[in-house]
Amino acid sequence: MSKDAGPGGPTMAETKTPIGFIRNEGRRLMDRWWQEMTAADGAGRPTAYVFVMGSLDEILRVFDLPINCPEITSLQTAVRGRSLEYLQTAEGYGYSPDICGYVKADVGLQLKDRQHPNGTVPKPALAIATNMCNTYIKWAEIWEQMYHCPVFVLDLPAWRGGDVTPRVDGEAFRNDRRYVEGQLRDLIGLCERLTGRRFDIDRLREVMAEVNRMAAGYQAVLSLNRHRPAPFSAIREGIVFQGISNLYRGAPEGSRFFEGAAEELRERIHLGMGTLNEKYRLLLTGTTCYAALKRFAELFEEWGGVFVHSTYMVFAGGGFGSDFAYDVTRPIESLAETLLLSAWRGFSTPMFYAQDWLAETVREWSVDGICFHGVKSCRTTSTGLPDVREWLRTHFDIPGLFIQSDLVDPRMWSDAQLKNRIDAFIESLAGRRATAAR
Ligand code: SF4
């Protein structure tokens, strides 16, 4: 085995052809993460619960804290077709049907002794939330009440400078950075007390360098989907990319995964292997419905509609913008600075100020139309979607479809209604194309 191989994992040299790498290695890494979670539970190891927007894995890895990402475990209950039983357990306990489906699936999981279809979720010894979604803070308070664990809330100030892009050399940005740096030092102190270990700044440098490597690989993967036909589906394989980018952030296996994934995608392009029968290139705003993931994709794919990108791959994909790069010579300052920039450009912009990002992506990824998927239990990502659709139509003549269901709640999936809307939308794209060809 080459010295590059991860524990038990294949290397690119061994696989001869990279085709199949994403599926096989993605599955292996996901299984390994579940084995580690289950083992941490068995051993009673202190574990951190984090969220995908601002996980602070960089610091947690320095203390070797296993990381649980409850948005991902909730999503997985839906992909496994089991979310309803967890949702109903939470509702039976008193949670209202319109609360975020991820929260309720997780509460149901905690109430079922943390038994998940994929393994056992350990108890939290620490919960980290950010202000990127207000639900995060209330969700973390649930664990605090259940397990009496400390909750650390990272407050990332929104950009208030008036310019569209923050000026990193300006006084306002410097003040914000100092404010975030102070919070990071508080978290380091909390981790030291929790684990009994001293903070090692050189280990932080190593982890941050690994995150830089992963960010470059993640960006390479996204960019390859500019190709026609797209080599991957942003909602089918996109879910694997998002999972690995969050769970293996700062770990060499995670960086290697994206390098291998990019190699497989280049090979697919070289061999002329696109996703199924691409006729229309689509962009998804928000998430798909994970309780009907396959069907969601099929409703578009039966017309040759392929999702080449999504806002979810940006705001829930580690905040890896195209210019993401830590300066490891000044680690804590750079971590604070990058968190602020990620909060603004990576997390908030595709969610709350999506119009410019969408218009640019439509141009650069040669997109024919946008699907705006309103998630009934997630106001954070769904508010204002019809307005954005209208703005893009009137300003740029970009066609958009607005549909609604949920992230994880199968009761919100109305197949006939959605099929009608999607069929009509694709027919309208066909009509536009025919008109343009005349
Ligand atoms: S962004 Fe939406 S889905 Fe995610 S935690 Fe917030 S409310 Fe729930």
pLDDT-derived band at 341, boundaries 50, 70, 90:
confident
pLDDT-derived band at 322, boundaries 50, 70, 90:
confident
- CB-ligand 1 contact for 382 (6 Å cutoff): no
Inform me whether the pLDDT recorded for 130 exceeds 60: yes
pLDDT for the residue numbered 18: 83
pLDDT for the residue numbered 349: 66
- CB-ligand 1 contact for 381 (6 Å cutoff): yes
Query: Are 372 and 389 a contacting pair, CB within 8 Å?
Result: yes
Inform me whether the pLDDT recorded for 2 exceeds 50: no
* Distance (Å, whole) CA 58 – CA 48: 12
- CB-ligand 1 contact for 133 (6 Å cutoff): yes
pLDDT-derived band at 324, boundaries 50, 70, 90:
confident
Q: Which of 136, 141, 347, 373 to mutate to test the pocket of ligand 1 (most atoms within 8 A of CB)?
A: 136
Inform me whether the pLDDT recorded for 274 exceeds 80: no
Inform me whether the pLDDT recorded for 284 exceeds 50: yes
Which carries the bigger pLDDT value, residue 90 or residue 164?
90
Query: Are 298 and 323 a contacting pair, CB within 8 Å?
Result: no
Across residues 384-392, what is the average pLDDT?
94
- Report which protein residue has its CA nearest ligand 1's atom 7: 378
> pTM (2 decimals)?
0.92
Inform me whether the pLDDT recorded for 292 exceeds 90: yes
pLDDT-derived band at 92, boundaries 50, 70, 90:
very high
- CB-ligand 1 contact for 69 (6 Å cutoff): no
Across 354-363, 374-383, 397-406, which has the greatest mean pLDDT? 397-406
- CB-ligand 1 contact for 311 (6 Å cutoff): no
Cβ neighbours of residue 386 closer than 8 Å, sequence gap 6 or more: 372, 374, 402
Q: How far is the CA of 377 from the centre of ligand 1 (A)?
A: 8
Query: Are 410 and 403 a contacting pair, CB within 8 Å?
Result: no
Q: What percent of the chain has pLDDT over 90?
A: 79
Q: Taking Cα atoms as reference points, which of 244, 219, 209, 216 lies closest to residue 9?
A: 244
Residue 329 burial (CB count, 10 A): 8
Instruction: Give me 275's structure tokens.
Output: 């996703």
SS3 175: helix
Apex 27 CA angle, 255 and 35, nearest 5: 90
pLDDT for the residue numbered 283: 98
pLDDT-derived band at 115, boundaries 50, 70, 90:
very high
Q: How far is the CA of 378 from the centre of ligand 1 (A)?
A: 5
pLDDT digits (tens, 9 = 90+) for 141-176: 999 999 999 999 999 987 765 555 667 778 888 999
pLDDT for the residue numbered 164: 57
Q: What percent of the chain has pLDDT over 70?
A: 92
Instruction: Give me 187's structure tokens.
Output: 């978290």
pLDDT for the residue numbered 17: 56
SS3 402: strand
pLDDT for the residue numbered 54: 86
* Distance (Å, whole) CA 13 – CA 35: 26
Question: How many residues does this entry show for the chain?
Answer: 438
Query: Are 194 and 46 a contacting pair, CB within 8 Å?
Result: yes
Q: How far is the CA of 101 from the centre of ligand 1 (A)?
A: 8
Inform me whether the pLDDT recorded for 37 exceeds 90: yes
Of the listed ranges 233-242, 267-276, 369-378, 386-395, the one predicted with least confidence: 267-276
* Distance (Å, whole) CA 436 – CA 438: 6
